[in-house]
Structure 1
Amino acid sequence: MDESQIQELRRARLADAIQKMCNGNVTAFGRLLGYSGGAYVRQMLLGNRAVSEKTVRHIEGLRGMHGWFSLTAMHDDMARGFDFGAGPDIYQFFPVELRLRPDAAGYTVWPDETDEDVPLSLHKHWLARRGYVPTSLLALRLRSGGMEPSLNIGDIFVINTAEVELRDGQVFVVNFYGELLVRRAQRDDGGWWLAADNLDQVRWPRKAFGGPQCVPIGRLVFKQSESI
Structure 2
Amino acid sequence: MSTLLKDRISEALLLAGLDQSELARRIGVSSVAVNGWCTGATKSIKGENLLKAAMHLNVHPIWLATGKGERSPHGQGNISTEPRPIRTFEDGDPLEEDEVEVARLTLKASAGGGRLQWEIDTKGTPNRFRKGWCNRKGFDPTKLVTIMADGDSMSPAVQDCASVTINTADVNARNGNVYAIDYQGQFYIKRIFMEADGSVRISSDNPDKIRHPDWHVNKGNGDALRILGRAVQVQNDI
TM (norm. structure 2) is 0.54
- Give the structure 1 partner of residue 148 of structure 2: 141
In the alignment, what sits opposite 2:100?
91
Give the match for residue 14 of structure 2: none
Tell me the SS of whatever aligns to 1:211: helix
Please show how residues 33-72 of structure 1 align to structure 2 within 5 Å.
Answer: none
Equivalent-residue separation in structure 2 for 1:141 and 1:174 (angstroms): 14
Distance 2:151 2:142 in 1: 26
3-state SS, counterpart of residue 212 of structure 1:
helix
Q: Distance in 1 between matches of 2:174 and 2:92?
A: 34
Q: Report if aligned partners of 1:83, 1:92 keep a CA contact under 8 Å in 2.
A: no
Q: Distance in 2 between matches of 1:203 and 1:160?
A: 28
Instruction: Give the superposition deviation at 1:106.
Output: 5.7
Q: Percent identity?
A: 22
Which residue matches 2:67? none
Q: Does 1:205 align with 2:216?
A: no
Post-superposition shift, 1:134? 0.9
- Which residue number in structure 2 is paired with residue 76 of structure 1? none
Which residue does the alignment assign to 1:109? Answer: 119
The partner residue of 1:173 within 167, 172, 180 is 180
Q: Which moved more, 1:191-200 or 1:87-96?
A: 87-96
Aligned length: 144
TM-score, normalised relative to structure 1? 0.57
Equivalent residues in 2 for 1:178-193, closer than 5 Å: 178-190=185-197, 191-193=199-201
2:104/2:120 contact within 8 Å kept: no
Aligned twin of 2:203: 195
SS at match of 1:91: strand
Secondary structure, counterpart of 2:107 in structure 1: strand
1:36-56, CA deviations, whole angstroms, 9 ceiling, x for partnerless residues? xxxxxxxxxxxxxxxxxxxxx
Q: Does 1:225 align with 2:233?
A: no
Change (3 A) 1:189 1:124: same
Unaligned runs of 5+ in 2: 1-89
Aligned equivalents of 2:231 and 2:121: distance in 1?
19
1:130 is displaced (CA, Å) by 1.2
SS at match of 1:127: helix
Q: CA deviation at 1:213?
A: 2.4
What's the secondary structure of 1:180's corresponding residue?
A: strand
Deviation at 1:108, TM superposition (A): 3.0
- After TM superposition, where is structure 1 displaced by more than 4 Å over at least 4 residues in a row? none
